[in-house]
Amino acid sequence: MREFTYSRAVTLQEALTRIAPLANGKFLGGGTNLIDLMRENIERPGYRDRRYPPVVRNQ
């Protein structure tokens, strides 16, 4: 599994604030099917694929 950073948010607002500046942030919560997909490199949160330029968000 590729490396990533992890952050725990307690409120909805906090979650949205934290994920906003990230190019490829993902939510991990109850019922999400993310970690098994990350293990197979299907999902790659926090990883910028060299085929695609990093997403730049307008502030």
Residues of this chain that interact with another protein (CB under 8 A) are: 1-6, 8, 28, 35-36, 38-39, 46-48, 50
CA torsion sign for 44, 46, 49, 52 is: positive
C-alpha distances out from residue 19 to 1, 35, 40, 55, 59, Å: 20, 18, 23, 13, 13
Q: Token pair 């500046």 is at which residue?
A: 21
Q: Which is nearer to another protein, 10 or 58 (CB)?
A: 10
Q: Which is nearer to another protein, 14 or 36 (CB)?
A: 36
CB of 27 to another protein, least distance (A): 13
Q: Which is nearer to another protein, 16 or 36 (CB)?
A: 36
